[in-house]
Chains A and B, each alone.
Chain A
């Protein structure tokens, strides 16, 4: 909702200005970060273990290299997959041809042994709808949008409340990863609690698969552009994490209407203390579509 209001808020920004300043934080203790977003595809699956860092450190994270990482499918059978350390905190499981972690409805447990602590997380693979189509439509010049051809993803939320998805878009092999491009759907709209269900993803979500420029404006497609879209299913915990993370990384755009800093709650816990590590374990069912502009 805040995003949708952005244009209107510009009116309030008649004289606003921003300056970049130097800031020191009180950051001291790096914490374990689990970056475990797995899918049901038969491709190498990667879990990254890193350490948190000063917000203004402006560097790649320090990888955690001496951990043991395993993912087990616990329902309906028990099968474990060992993730082997490759480099800088990347732990990878490479499937045999056609092999995959599991299917929709199955349950998974992540176990990590790191220094003296054991960490564990449980999740189940949620369902994902197929992508009906990627359409290209011509839009006329309007406020905040240049004239041109834009893509939309047509997919329909599955009937029944509580389905959450992450929509990832790749245009010409560039994964869209600006903060404003983080595209989530909960029962076809932005957030839980809105009461929508079983309808096509709403227009802003369909449209957000387009690329944006530095100013946040959408960039029209040109002939030959390849648009690849995948939908990942999210557990409620993973959605909640990403929705808070989304609101936080996009918060700078809200100007005087910013929301307070909030921590996105993770779902990986220290077995002894019960405290949460940073980050999330999610195993997604995925659907995918590709289309090239003629």
Chain B
């Protein structure tokens, strides 16, 4: 692996030297003319040579060509192409402001980029959802939801409705790096897992990397969900809002200095409590139940060379059944970014971010007598410089690094019992994660594109607390006994790791409309979510890798066949992947993960494997559009002490997963959309036997099989109708839109879980205790919804 670096540099040099010295560079930004938002992934090419590039995450492009007179064309799906005659004798800047195409037949877009990007780019295993698509998807209670939408894509599953997080290609929920303007969001759900924390009014783009993750990303094993916020309209004042069943939303965006600076401020708040308030009785009068989020972004363009962005997010869920108890959790993030152009070819971005996930819980209406107060947080701050060097249209070099400082506060807790106060806090943890990456994307022999790179990562578990050592468990499945306690200082490193993470992707064009792709990635994850409940609870804590918990590792191999049909109207992709995991975090039976100073003694390390085939067919243009996806997959674990030391399926393993999403533009005003979801029931463990003990009936899993029962299959049909304003009213300042939706149209009681339970009722001495099997459905009926959205310009 160490040999890769010189080879890599050589390749870059070789292609660089090949460039004639006399070449000129044309660069610029591509924006949406209506609001000044930069367009990510827009194509810019020279009509004469058909050489081109796409804009990066900041809407920037750079093309280096031999001098001459060209026609520069910028295009973006849903927008009219824009041409500029360019006499390129020296380096030049050409910015584009694209207007929406007159006819919005392609308003619903699955991939909003080069029309043949499915086939032509080197990137595979990436899903991009446009906000216009997400907004038209039928949704639970009419609430547009980024996270629920991505679950309609192949390879993405979840343990069940209402569960927080999602699973990508056999990865657990903590193996997804969810970033909002580069700052990690540790809990991406409101109301446990029902609604995601992203306000659709503030989101510009959503991109999910399931595989072939470029070297510039790291830190999690299975996926990167890159959510980017809008910059804010820099042309004119605009207000958007909506009234839904759960949330009311309002966002304001406006130029601060036209063409130079703008801001966006967007907020949402649930109002169940407001509506319910008058109906609550005396004992419920103090009840609080709400969640909100606030998103702010602003930017300033100093010159063509320098631009800064400042974005922030604050979200919180609050539950409090009166004065005696309260529970709240939320994320706060802040990102400062500085784009700087060193030369026409060298683009840089420097990011600083801060991210804090915390929760607080308290009980006790007489705090001096009896109370319990607990708060916890994970705070990280990071600096991340990145450089893109646009050597030629067929050769881009990226390099950079990142340092993240973590501070874990698993519990700052106090218990008061009968007037005695006891501090039951859990020791804090600190860690430093550093990485460097280099990545090169190059086209060779016209038909072969490569993106290869290397990420080198280092993680230091820092001192300043007691270090625990544990001996062998007396029997497999029991906690390991504590054998040593060593105090450490803040300037010590307790343990550190160093890892190479090679990444590579290749695309080979078979012809103009089909290609083969392959990719390999190694990913390393140094921080872990400790959770053993079916759906993750907001109280779950994160832990760094420690002297008792090693970093998790995964290798993924994928190959795919990509083909576009009927002039890129249809996109077909077929991918097969195999993934190997090691040092996965698992737990002993009956592990106590909450408020446990010695939780490390209950953690097990295991292996995993996941493999599958994903098929997707999209129709991107026309009155009828949509996609169909099917995944055949298996995801398994092997952990000593579990399932008699043999492989077992994970709790989110789904053999078949089928999604059909369709949009139909009935006329200028009405769009119909529907989704149908089908998947194999997930596996779980059930008690097969039981016995009497101390007058209770204790369930038992004889044979110790894990996840050997499958709950019934899941399927659901949703439907929605979007009513846009009349075309002749399109110049009015106030535009209203109605969305009527039906979730779970045929009211199926899809099971979330099945379990055995004791029949309630007091058992008389000497009488038998009765049990029954129960199927729990989270959504048990049809859920209709109406929401109204408006824009005021």
Contact = CB atoms under 8 A, between A and B. Distances in A.
Contacts of A200: 417-420
Interface in B750-793: 752-758, 760-763, 765-781, 783
Nearest to A181: B762
Interface stretch (B147-155, B304-312, B438-446, B693-701): B693-701
Contact of A17 (B598, B702, B780, B783): B780
Contacts of A78: none
B699 A248 contact: yes
Chain B interface residue bracket vs A: 35 or more
B534 A256 contact: yes
B598 to A, nearest CB: 5
A55 B756 contact: yes
- Select the residue from A27, A214, A256 with max chain B CB neighbours within 10 A: A256
B598 A193 contact: yes
B692 A261 contact: no
A142 interface: yes
Interface in A203-242: 203, 206, 214-215, 240, 242
B499 interface: no
A164 to B, nearest CB: 13
B690 interface: yes
Interface in A43-72: 48, 50-61
B781 A15 contact: yes
B532 A260 contact: yes
Contacts of A256: 160, 162-163, 192, 534-535, 752-753, 776, 778
Contacts of B327: 5, 8
Contacts of B364: 203
B777 A177 contact: no
A117 interface: no
A248 to B, nearest CB: 5
Contact of B417 (A12, A50, A201): A201
Interface string B654-694: 00000000000000000000000000000011111111111
Given A21-B754, A261-B687, A193 B160 contact: no
- Select the residue from A22, A143, A265 with max chain B CB neighbours within 10 A: A143
B691 A178 contact: no
Contact of A196 (B370, B424, B694, B783): B424
Contacts of B766: 60
B760 A178 contact: yes
A29 B775 contact: no
B6 interface: no
Nearest to A248: B699
A58 B708 CA distance: 23
Contact of A12 (B194, B424, B762, B781): B194
A265 B474 CA distance: 12
B647 interface: no
Contact of B693 (A19, A22, A197, A280): A280
Nearest to A262: B589
B98 interface: no
Interface in B504-558: 532-535, 537, 539
B744 to A, nearest CB: 9
A293 interface: no
A60 B770 CA distance: 9
A197 B421 CA distance: 10
Contacts of A206: 418
A58 B534 contact: no
B596 interface: yes
Interface in B378-421: 415, 417-420
A25 B754 CA distance: 13
- Select the residue from A1, A31, A192 with max chain B CB neighbours within 10 A: A1
B592 interface: yes
A249 interface: yes
B594 interface: yes
B257 interface: no
A247 B696 CA distance: 13
B728 interface: no
Nearest to A279: B693
A54 B533 CA distance: 25
B570 interface: no
A125 interface: no
Contacts of A202: 370, 372, 415, 417
Given A17-B777, A59-B768, A25 B688 contact: yes
Contacts of A56: 756, 771-773
A1 B594 contact: yes
Contacts of A258: 533-534, 753, 755
- Select the residue from A4, A7, A193, A245 with max chain B CB neighbours within 10 A: A193
Given A50-B692, A249-B699, A260-B532, A18 B760 contact: no
A157 to B, nearest CB: 9
Contacts of A16: 752, 776-780
A196 B321 contact: no
B282 A141 contact: yes
B700 A263 contact: yes
A193 B417 contact: no
Contacts of A18: 774-777
A26 interface: yes
Contacts of A53: 689-691
Nearest to B326: A8
A11 interface: yes
A11 B284 CA distance: 13
Nearest to B753: A258
Contacts of A58: 768-771
B412 to A, nearest CB: 13
B644 to A, nearest CB: 13
B691 A278 contact: yes
Contacts of B752: 16, 256
A169 to B, nearest CB: 13
Contacts of A54: 688-690
A94 interface: no
B590 interface: yes
A174 B596 contact: no
A199 B363 contact: no
A81 interface: no
A191 B592 contact: yes
B192 A143 contact: no
B88 interface: no
Nearest to B287: A143
B325 interface: yes
Interface in A131-181: 140-144, 154, 174-175, 177-179
B595 interface: yes
B177 interface: no
B775 A11 contact: no
B687 to A, nearest CB: 5
B693 A33 contact: yes
Nearest to B769: A58
B754 A55 contact: no
Nearest to A12: B192
Contacts of A12: 162, 191-192, 194
Interface in B306-323: 319, 321-322
A174 B761 CA distance: 13
A189 interface: yes
Contacts of A249: 696-699, 758
- Select the residue from A56, A61, A240, A243 with max chain B CB neighbours within 10 A: A56
A17 B696 CA distance: 26
Contacts of A143: 283-284, 287, 321-322
21 contacts: A11-B319, A12-B192, A16-B780, A23-B754, A25-B687, A27-B688, A33-B693, A50-B692, A53-B689, A60-B692, A179-B758, A192-B596, A193-B595, A195-B597, A203-B370, A252-B755, A256-B192, A260-B534, A260-B685, A260-B706, A261-B685
Top 4 closest pairs, chain A to chain B, by CB: A17-B780, A262-B589, A200-B418, A252-B757
Given A22-B773, A25-B686, A264-B700, 12 more contacts: A17-B776, A33-B692, A52-B691, A56-B756, A57-B690, A58-B768, A143-B322, A203-B364, A245-B693, A258-B755, A260-B651, A278-B691
